Chains A and B, each alone.
Chain A
Amino acid sequence: MSVDAATVRHIARLARIAVSDAEVEALAPELSNILGWVEQLAEVDVSGVEPMTAVIPNILRLRDDVVTDGGIREDVLANAPVAEHGFFAVPKVIE
C-alpha cells in the first residue's frame, strides 16, 4: 500500500493532528514503509480462526447499578487548561 499526500492529510484530519506540508512529505513514505511491512500478514491462512478478543479468558464483571463515585468536581477540573464556572472551557463553537 502506497500512502500518498492526500491520504496522509486525510488520516491526520481524522486523528486531529495538524500537519505541515513538509511533515506530509516526510510521513507519506514512512507510513507506506510501515504499512507495506505489516501487510505480510495477508499471507497467513486464517480460515476458521476467530479474531482474538481476550488474551486471558476472563468474564466481564457487572456491578450493581448504583452511584459509587462523584462529588469531586474540583478534582476533575484541577488539571484543565481552562475551567470556568465549574466547567471545562473550550473555544466558542457556533454552527
Chain B
Amino acid sequence: MTGLTDLGIAAIRDGVADGSVSAREVAEAYIAAVEAGRPLNAFTVETPEHALAAADTADAARASGELKPLSGVPLGIKDLFATEGVDTTAGSRILSGFKPRYESTVSGKLFAAGAGMLGKLNMDEFAMGSSNETSAWGPVLSPWRRKDGGNAALTPGGSSGGSASAVSARLAPGVTGTDTGGSIRQPAAFTGISGIKPTYGRCSRWGIVAFASSLDQAGPMARDVRDCAILLEAMAGFDPKDSTSLDLPVPNWEAALSSDLRGKKVGIPREYRIDGVPEEIGRVWDHGIALLKDAGAEIVEVSLPHTKYALPTYYIIAPAEASSNLARYDGVRYGRRVQPEQGGLTEMYEATRAEGFGAEVKRRIMIGTYVLSAGFYDAYFNQAQKVRALIARDFDQAWASCDLLLTPTAPSAAFGLGEKMADPIAMYLNDVFAVPASLAGLPAMSVPGGVDGQGLPLGLQIIGRPLDEQSVLDAGLAIEERSGFTARAERWW
C-alpha cells in the first residue's frame, strides 16, 4: 500500500470521510515510511502509537458520523512544541530527557481536531540555525540530491529541517514548523514544499520553547497550498495563555481559496535584487512574476529602503531575546544538570550551560548578553528596535501601492552539509529575504517556483498585509497551479 503516502492532508481527510481509505491504513503506511526514512534523521522521537490511536478514533468516528476537521491525518510535530509525556528537546542536549506534563496550545489544537502524531521532528538547536546542523541530535539530510552524480549530502534548511525533510520525503503529509527569521520558509524552499508563517499572534506561542518571543510564530508545512490552509485553520486562534495572541476569529482560509488574482496588485521590491545572488534565483523570480500576471495580478515596482538593515537588526534583537529566554536553562527545574565536584550553585549553572548548549546557541546568548549589557543597550538594542520600526514602516508604505509582495525565498538552493558552518555570517545571509517580514510580523509563505541547474528546488516568497493570510495563500495557489512544479526527490534512503 505504498500509494497511501502519496495522499496529502485534503486527500486523507476526504478519503477517510467518504470511506475510500481507512485512517488505520494511512497511519500504518506513514509509520512504515517514517521507519524506512530513518537515514534522513528527520525524527528525534517516533510515536506510532499516538498516530494509530488517532487513526482508530477517526475510523470509529466515521462509523458514528462524528468526524473532525483532521480526523485520520497523521502529522509530524517539530520538537520545539511541548508534547505531553513525549520527549521535547528543542534539538538541545540541555533538554535531554525533558517530558512535558502539558501540551502546547498548537499541538493540542491539532490533536483535538483529530490529527495523530507520527513523532517529533529534528531541528536546529533552539531553532538557531539555517541548515539543521546545530541540532544536538545530528543534522537532518535532505531527500534531494544534485544531479551531478556526486551524491553530496545536502541540508534541508533550518531551523525546521526535520519538518521539511519529512514532508518532502513523504514521511508525513504535513507538519508543524516555527519561524523566527525564516525557519519555515527557507527549509520549505530548499525541499520543494509549501509553508506559511502567519501574522504574528495568529498561532499561540504557549508551550512552544521560546527563542525570540517578539518574532516566534508557528505555522504549517505541507505539500501544497490547500494542505497548508487546512492545517493553519486548525493551528490558529486566540489563546488567553499567550499575551500576544490575537483575539480574532480564524477565517475559513481553505473554503475561500481562489487563484483568480484579478484586481490584486503585487509589488516587486527592488532592494531584493542584491549582488552575489545566483542568476537562477532571479530567473525563478521573473518566472513567478509572469505566473502572477497570468493569474490576473497587476505587477508594480515598490521600494523597501531599509531592507539591507534587516539582517543586522535581526541579529541584535533575536539574540537579545534569546539570551533572556534561555536564562531558564539553569539545571534546576528541568533538563540536564552538570555538577562539578568542586563548586556551588554558580559553578553548577556555568557547567550545566557550558555542557548543555552547543556552539551556535552559546554564541547567540553571548551576543545577546553583550548588546543588552550596561553601556551598550542604547547603541545596539534600542537602535535595532528603532530600525525595526523603520523596516515595518517600509512595508506599511508599500501597502499603499500593492496588496502583496513577491520575492525569492532564499538566495540560493540547498547547500551541502558543512559548507557554511565555519562562517556564521555567511550562514545568517540565508535568511536575507525572509527576515524583513519576520521583523514586521507579516504573513509570508514559500511555494516551489522551479528548479536550478542541479535539479534542486527554488522557492518563491509571498508576503501579505497583516492578517491577510488569505491573499498570501491565494497567490501561492496561483503560482502552484501554473508553475508545473512536479519535481520530487528520487528515493535513495
Interface residues of A (CB under 8 A from B): 3, 7-8, 11-12, 14-19, 27, 30-31, 33-35, 37-42, 44, 46, 49-56, 58, 60-61, 63, 72, 75-76, 78-82, 88, 90-94
Contact = CB atoms under 8 A, between A and B. Distances in A.
B369 A15 contact: yes
Contacts of B367: 31, 34-35
A52 B366 contact: no
Given A51-B389, A60-B243, A82-B337, A17 B425 contact: no
A90 B332 contact: yes
Interface centre among B215, B336, B366, B440 (most CB of A within 10 A): B366
Contact of B466 (A40, A52, A56): A56
A10 to B, nearest CB: 8
A35 B333 contact: no
B362 A79 contact: no
Contacts of A92: 344
14 contacts: A18-B350, A34-B363, A34-B367, A44-B386, A46-B390, A51-B382, A56-B201, A60-B243, A72-B101, A79-B97, A81-B334, A88-B333, A91-B343, A91-B348
B379 A38 contact: no
B313 A41 contact: yes
A5 B367 CA distance: 14
Interface string B293-327: 00000000000001001001101100000010001
Contact of B309 (A33, A34, A40): A40
B344 A93 contact: yes
Contact of A41 (B316, B330, B373): B316
Nearest to A94: B344
A76 B366 CA distance: 29
Interface centre among A34, A40, A60, A80 (most CB of B within 10 A): A34
B134 interface: no
B290 interface: no
Interface string B397-417: 000000000000000000000
B366 A44 contact: no
B350 A55 contact: no
Given A46-B387, A52-B392, 5 more contacts: A18-B347, A33-B424, A44-B306, A88-B332, A90-B332
B132 interface: no
A60 B201 CA distance: 12
Contacts of A79: 97-101, 333-335
B345 A90 contact: yes
Contacts of B102: 75
Contacts of A63: 240
Contacts of A17: 350, 353-354, 357, 362, 365-366
A41 to B, nearest CB: 5
Given A55-B441, A56-B441, A44 B387 contact: yes
Nearest to B373: A14
Given A17-B354, A33-B425, A34-B315, A46 B380 contact: no
B331 interface: yes
A90 B345 CA distance: 7
Contacts of B214: 55
Contacts, number: 163
B200 interface: yes
Contacts of B379: 42
A51 B316 CA distance: 13
Interface of B: 97-102, 199-201, 214-215, 240, 243-244, 246-247, 306, 309, 312-313, 315-316, 323, 327, 330-337, 339, 343-351, 353-354, 357, 362-363, 365-367, 369-371, 373, 379-380, 382-390, 392, 424-425, 439-441, 466
A51 B386 CA distance: 4
Given A12-B366, A75-B101, A81 B316 contact: no
Contact of A80 (B309, B333, B385): B333
Given A17-B357, A60-B243, A81-B335, A46 B383 contact: yes
Contacts of B100: 79
Contacts of B312: 37-41
B259 to A, nearest CB: 27
A16 B349 contact: yes
A14 B141 CA distance: 36
Contacts of A11: 366, 369-370, 373
B363 A31 contact: yes
A55 B200 contact: yes
A15 B353 contact: yes
A72 to B, nearest CB: 8
Contact of B330 (A16, A27, A76): A16
A27 B353 contact: no
Interface hub of A39, A55, A90 (most chain B Cβ within 10 A): A55
Contacts of B337: 81-82
Contact of B344 (A12, A33, A91): A91
